[in-house]
Amino acid sequence: MAIERTKLAEACDLALAGDWERAHAIVQRDATDLTSCWIHAVLHKIEGDADNARYWYGRAGQFYESFTDATAELRAISATLTY
Whole-angstrom distance, CA of residue 21 vs CA of residue 64 = 21
Q: What domain range is 61 assigned to?
A: 5-81
pLDDT digits (tens, 9 = 90+) for 45-67: 999 999 999 999 999 999 999 99
Residue 9: which residues within 8 A CB-CB, separation 6 or more?
78, 81, 82
Q: What is the pLDDT of residue 18?
A: 96
Using 70 as the pLDDT threshold, list the residues of the chain that sit under it: 1-2
CATH number of 49's domain: 1.25.40
Q: How many domains does the chain have?
A: 1
Q: What is the pLDDT of residue 1?
A: 54
Assign 3-state DSSP to the chain and report helix, strand, coil percentages, each to 5: 70, 0, 30
Give 36: exposed, middle or buried? Use CB within 10 Å, 0-12, 13-18, 19+: buried
Q: What is the pLDDT of residue 3?
A: 77
